[in-house]
Structure 1
Amino acid sequence: METLAKEFQDNTAPRLQKYLVLKSWWATNYVSDWWEEYVYLRGRTPLMVNSNYYAMDFVLIRNTNVQAARVGNAVHAMIMYRRKLDREEIKPVMALGMVPMCSYQMERMFNTTRIPGKETDVLQHLSESRHVAVYHKGRFFKVWLYEGSRLLKPRDLELQFQRILDDPSPPQPGEEKLAALTAGGRVEWAQARQTFFSSGKNRTALDTIERAAFFVALDEESHCYNPDDEASLSLYGKALLHGNCYNRWFDKSFTLISFKNGILGLNTEHSWADAPIIGHLWEFVLGTDTFHLGYSENGHCVGEPNMKLVPPQRLQWDIPEQCREAIENSYQVAKALADDVELYCFQFLPFGKGLIKKCRTSPDAFVQIALQLAHFRDKGKFCLTYEASMTRMFREGRTETVRSCTSESTAFVQAMVKGSHTKEDLQDLFRKASEKHQNMYRLAMTGAGIDRHLFCLYIVSKYLGVSSPFLAEVLSEPWSLSTSQIPQYQIRMFDPNQYPNHLGAGGGFGPVSAPEGWWLVAPEPWSFSLGVQTWA
């Protein structure tokens, strides 16, 4: 590798770098457009599990058990957020309370769909959408969000969702598993879309879904965190990550998922933005639902419904036998993928980031070094480790990689495993590993990371037809341990010390490598803005 690196640095890299410098003169961000296209939109594997990620509801409190009421409040809060976004009333997130983070990714949060193509997908973003698309018991519905120019109140939205829940009509032939097309391979979905959904009532119905503000899934099963059932949180996470493979529209910017017992969650398409962006919306929705909109004593939305509202509209399909075969094939691909995912979420109560900070250590570094120790004890070896860092201090910045497996962290792990070192020596080794990790995170955040730059050099090499053994080797190494986090309390809608039970369990994403794919769900003690912690 040293020989390949030296050859690359001396001979190939200077030529490739000139093209990147040239691009940086005219591009807003020399990484982001290629990152979106080549890492996301050109991916031909299923979005479900491989790309989309999920976010969980509050896990220790329950505002209402009425499914339609909870969705009514949530949808109303989301459109309130969209209105604030359109009016530019949302303040940017500040790093250290001083440096504003780029808000560009928020632009495509609503009215956005990923359209499948045979070679590459495209993102379709509309300036306005006045309805949501809803799925329940194998049927698709259109629900208007406005009456004239007035946004429907939560109680009116509850009425509309209750009408869907009470509708006894069966699915049309082929309709029930239709959304499995969005869960299977992208090429197959693109071919089916072109063949069966380019005209007539199928085109009209598909347009209704793709032009919706977002997608709503009204599930028939119940999920929640049950302290007496160890598997409950994991089952809840799996339901959000992939559902039954045909009750989510994985192409929409996000799907709002509602379970029968009133618990909510999100499944989010990844190409348009990273998790902190949807986390910002989700925090607003949960805070608005709990502290501003509220519920009546019997669990319904506040107010009286307008019974004269036009009922939700059933979408009409004409799905031929060939199309049903394509749907079934996509469903089988998606089901095999979903069945192959093992997810384990658990609650960790002994301590959280407060205690770690009292020890004058970065919580992020603490968790990352702990993961290195756990992985070594489990596998008996170290591996390439990915931790996501955001680069939103730059315009249109997305992410950078922090390579958490360092010589300092491995030295600490080996000393811990040996068991013959003194406590003072271990503390010293840990401190060095922690400082190294913090510094690497700081470098990644401020544009001095290496992975996105290597990625762009690789794209240039492909454009020029230049073969680089070094880049081929570097970019083919699997990330056997892939970790991430979701910032909590970005907008401070309530004081977590005053409401300690108002905790979200973070979110999760699928394994990024096989066969030893690892992934991390960030439960509340670790769900914080790592950028802020690192700088602290």
Structure 2
Amino acid sequence: MRSASPAAPKQLSLPRLPVPELGQTLNRYLKSLEPFILEDERHGGLAFQTALNLRKKWADEFATGVGKLCQDRLLALDRASPNNWLEDNFWTNKTYFEWRVPLLVNSNWWLALGDDEHVPLRARENMTDLTPWQVRRAAWLVHRVLSFKHLMDRQELYPETTRTGISLRDSVAKMFNTARIPKPRCDIHSKPPSPTVFNAETQKIYIMVHGWCYAIPVYEPTSPPRLLDVQEIETRMRSAVVDAQKRLASGASAVQIGALTADGRDKWAENLEYLLELSPQNQKTHRTICQSLIGVSLDGPSPTFASVGQRALTSHLHAIRSTHSNIANRIFDKPFTLIVDPSTRAGVSGEHSPCDALVPSMIADWALAEGIELAQFKDKEPAPFPASPPQQENWERLDWVVDEKIKSECVDAMARAKAIIDDSDANVFWFKDYGTDWIKDALKQSPDAYIQMVLQLAYYRTSGEFTATYETALTRMFKRGRTETIRTFTTESRAWVLAMLQTRRNLLHHAIHKHSSLTREATTGRGIDRHLLGLRLMLRPLNGEEAALFDDPLFSRSQEWKLSTSALSAGSLFSGTGFGASYEDGYGINYLAAPDMIKFGIESKSACPYTSTDRLKVAIFDALAELKSLCLATDGAAISQSQRAEISSHL
């Protein structure tokens, strides 16, 4: 008797991102305003209840009037959308593409990777130019990243039989073979390659060397295409490097087109249009860059290089974010750019719009999980670069045809980019006293909520005031879900921060529990900020529609994210991470919470007299140490009646 064949794995599907119920969103929004109103009252504003009642009146008018109409329109839009009402219609445009500021620091993220222990220490000494070990590590990381893509494509890694696989597969696909294209007023993504039409450009990477750009095929032109072994990728990259060094030695210099991609988006759109009209060669170069798999920047020696301690962490992070010397060695429009310097320090930088930074960090983490395997190379020690590239070329120059106008624009763009970097007060530090294990085991609390309370306390102590705080919550449980906002500044977190003058542990627990509750609501499609955005966009002002709810100054103030935060993975293989502050007088904070330590990347603006990355760093360190002492020294259940009265006064 023939046995039955095994059943095919059940194909899972993700639910649609819901349109939240209007009344629930408005109630949550009003609750989120309470700490702002309490602060206004404390500083001489309207009485709390009077101010809150006014907002309740506006919310009720909205719910029974034009808000109901906006909600119906949003529901109709959702029914007409293939994936969800948010991602399909306006999220990318409103959050990224309509923003006209330069991508450098303001929008792009950066991630510093840990060292590869298989690279000998002597490879990091006497660095005066690009090095063979630099190219070897770059080739290894390229091979690992593309192996990740290959396994994802074949569903051998995070298959679509899991919810993580469904969500991750779509996001990973957006990291490759694409780029952001500048357009006046609103950018676009390059057209994705057809899966059924052969396109040689999609099987290449591009590398930047001394500001010159090269395309390198990394697949055999077979059916299906086969990823080259890492030895061949290294050989091809070395050949391009030798060509660039020969050009440099002859007195040539690259036109700094990379700096144009770091400029304001409208300015870059204007210059790109001019470039594309200038020559068909420019059209081909730009098309290849957009359609290539990923970018690789082989940087020259950094003048800020430090080899040990905190200075090493900071200089590494700065090199990945960008420094004066490597601005033109980047294409900032690309979603995923590997960066390796002569010491083999490496990192990743990327354009933010295709997907959120957790996805490229997962790719990078997988790539780092295995260090260089010397057995896969013909020689354990990479040979010095030859004087000339081999006769058989397996790479191509991606040169630009330019004129005096473009040369002048590059100089101006470079000056503006340098000013952005000079104003970027970015730093990274590792807190090593404890990590998530102690928070979970000793306190039985959410590590993320705990860290967010630390940031609330540190910000208040350094600024003397509270601010709207943004934390990213992922909505990956939904089809094409992206993010929602966790509004960390709550009545409970405010009460705890104010009471820290008397160090009250129970208030900390209340604040952490409140934050954990908000996180659950945000990740399960019950957040408020995306819904409020959708409702506001459904208004038709030309038809006379208006809402006092949205005209309220407190509505805008509650979304001024001067404290913008995001958590990545545990980051055991990363040296640090970062992104730019959303406001000139704010902070951008990315953190990696590991079992035994917490790594922070902090960015603020040097020109602002009210913020300081170093000052906030010290305040975060002090708060983390103080909170542990508080929790070890106090019994949260033992609070006197007088203490309870004091706590209530802050609520």
Alignment TM class, shorter chain as reference: 0.7 to 0.9
Matched with 1:115 is: 181
Q: Report the aligned-residue RMSD.
A: 3.0
Deviation track 1:19-68 (CA, whole Å, cap 9, x = no partner) reads: 01111212211111311121112221111111110112125846454101
Quote the offset at 1:393 in angstroms.
0.3
1:132–1:223 CA distance, 2 compared to 1 (3 A): farther
Contact 2:305–2:316 (CA<8 Å) still a contact in 1?
Answer: yes
Rg: which structure is higher? 2
Q: Quote the Cα distance in structure 2 between the aligned partners of 1:98 and 1:207.
A: 32
1:79-158 equivalence runs, <5 A:
79-91=146-158, 101=167, 103-124=169-190, 125-127=192-194, 129-149=202-222, 150-158=226-234
Query: Out of 550, 557, 577, which is 1:471 matched to?
Result: 550
Report SS of the residue matched to 1:345.
strand
Quote the offset at 1:5 in angstroms.
3.3
Report SS of the residue matched to 1:310.
coil
Quote the offset at 1:485 in angstroms.
1.1
Matched with 1:364 is: 448
Are positions 1:353 and 2:439 aligned together? no
Which 4+ residue blocks in structure 1 deviate beyond 6 angstroms?
97-100, 171-174, 223-227, 291-297
Moved more, 287-296 or 347-356: 287-296
Q: Quote the Cα distance in structure 2 between the aligned partners of 1:462 and 1:235.
A: 50
User: What amino acid is aligned across from residue 407 of structure 1 in structure 2?
Assistant: T
User: What amino acid is aligned across from residue 510 of structure 1 in structure 2?
Assistant: G
Q: Quote the Cα distance in structure 1 between the aligned partners of 2:431 and 2:493.
A: 23
Report SS of the residue matched to 2:575.
coil
Identify unmatched segments of 5+ residues in structure 1.
490-501, 529-536
User: What amino acid is aligned across from residue 389 of structure 1 in structure 2?
Assistant: A
1:22-41 equivalence runs, <5 A:
22-27=76-81, 28-33=83-88, 34-41=90-97
1:481-496 equivalence runs, <5 A:
481-488=563-570
Report SS of the residue matched to 2:426.
coil
1:279-294 equivalence runs, <5 A:
279-290=361-372
User: What amino acid is aligned across from residue 175 of structure 2 in structure 1?
Assistant: M
Matched with 1:498 is: none
Report SS of the residue matched to 1:239.
helix
Q: Quote the Cα distance in structure 2 between the aligned partners of 1:274 and 1:260.
A: 29
Moved more, 238-247 or 458-467: 458-467
Question: TM-score, structure 1 length as denominator?
Answer: 0.86
Matched with 2:493 is: 409
Question: TM-score, structure 2 length as denominator?
Answer: 0.72
User: What amino acid is aligned across from residue 163 of structure 1 in structure 2?
Assistant: S
Contact 2:118–2:371 (CA<8 Å) still a contact in 1?
Answer: no
Report SS of the residue matched to 2:485.
strand
Are positions 1:332 and 2:419 aligned together? no
Query: Out of 428, 431, 436, which is 2:506 matched to?
Result: 428
Query: Out of 62, 67, 79, which is 1:13 matched to?
Result: 67
Q: Quote the Cα distance in structure 2 between the aligned partners of 1:99 and 1:206.
A: 32
Are positions 1:43 and 2:99 aligned together? yes
Contact 1:182–1:189 (CA<8 Å) still a contact in 2?
Answer: yes
Moved more, 122-131 or 72-81: 122-131
Contact 1:188–1:326 (CA<8 Å) still a contact in 2?
Answer: no
Q: Quote the Cα distance in structure 2 between the aligned partners of 1:463 and 1:293.
A: 66
Query: Out of 549, 562, 578, which is 1:508 matched to?
Result: 578
Q: Quote the Cα distance in structure 1 between the aligned partners of 2:234 and 2:174.
A: 26
Q: Quote the Cα distance in structure 1 between the aligned partners of 2:316 and 2:542.
A: 47
Matched with 2:518 is: 440
Q: Quote the Cα distance in structure 2 between the aligned partners of 1:94 and 1:441.
A: 26
Q: Quote the Cα distance in structure 2 between the aligned partners of 1:246 and 1:92.
A: 39
Q: Quote the Cα distance in structure 2 between the aligned partners of 1:485 and 1:219.
A: 28
1:332–1:93 CA distance, 2 compared to 1 (3 A): farther
Q: Quote the Cα distance in structure 2 between the aligned partners of 1:192 and 1:143.
A: 26
Q: Quote the Cα distance in structure 2 between the aligned partners of 1:138 and 1:82.
A: 27
Contact 2:212–2:399 (CA<8 Å) still a contact in 1?
Answer: no
Q: Quote the Cα distance in structure 2 between the aligned partners of 1:23 and 1:345.
A: 43
Q: Quote the Cα distance in structure 2 between the aligned partners of 1:216 and 1:98.
A: 28
Quote the offset at 1:384 in angstroms.
0.7
Contact 2:436–2:593 (CA<8 Å) still a contact in 1?
Answer: no
Q: Quote the Cα distance in structure 2 between the aligned partners of 1:232 and 1:462.
A: 53
Are positions 1:188 and 2:259 aligned together? no
Deviation track 1:391-434 (CA, whole Å, cap 9, x = no partner) reads: 010100000000111111111111112x2x6xxxx222111111
Contact 1:409–1:430 (CA<8 Å) still a contact in 2?
Answer: yes
Contact 1:218–1:259 (CA<8 Å) still a contact in 2?
Answer: yes
User: What amino acid is aligned across from residue 247 of structure 1 in structure 2?
Assistant: N
> How many equivalent pairs are there?
505
User: What amino acid is aligned across from residue 397 of structure 2 in structure 1?
Assistant: R
Matched with 2:613 is: none
Q: Quote the Cα distance in structure 1 between the aligned partners of 2:158 and 2:165.
A: 12
Quote the offset at 1:136 in angstroms.
0.7
Contact 2:430–2:599 (CA<8 Å) still a contact in 1?
Answer: no
Are positions 1:275 and 2:330 aligned together? no
Moved more, 370-379 or 199-208: 199-208
User: What amino acid is aligned across from residue 142 of structure 1 in structure 2?
Assistant: A
Q: Quote the Cα distance in structure 1 between the aligned partners of 2:62 and 2:96.
A: 27
Q: Quote the Cα distance in structure 1 between the aligned partners of 2:140 and 2:253.
A: 32
Q: State the identity as a percent.
A: 29
Are positions 1:480 and 2:562 aligned together? yes
Quote the offset at 1:138 in angstroms.
2.1
Identify unmatched segments of 5+ residues in structure 2.
1-53, 124-132, 384-388, 601-651
Q: Quote the Cα distance in structure 2 between the aligned partners of 1:430 and 1:94.
A: 40
User: What amino acid is aligned across from residue 483 of structure 1 in structure 2?
Assistant: T
User: What amino acid is aligned across from residue 62 of structure 2 in structure 1?
Assistant: F
Q: Quote the Cα distance in structure 2 between the aligned partners of 1:402 and 1:277.
A: 19
Q: Quote the Cα distance in structure 1 between the aligned partners of 2:160 and 2:363.
A: 12
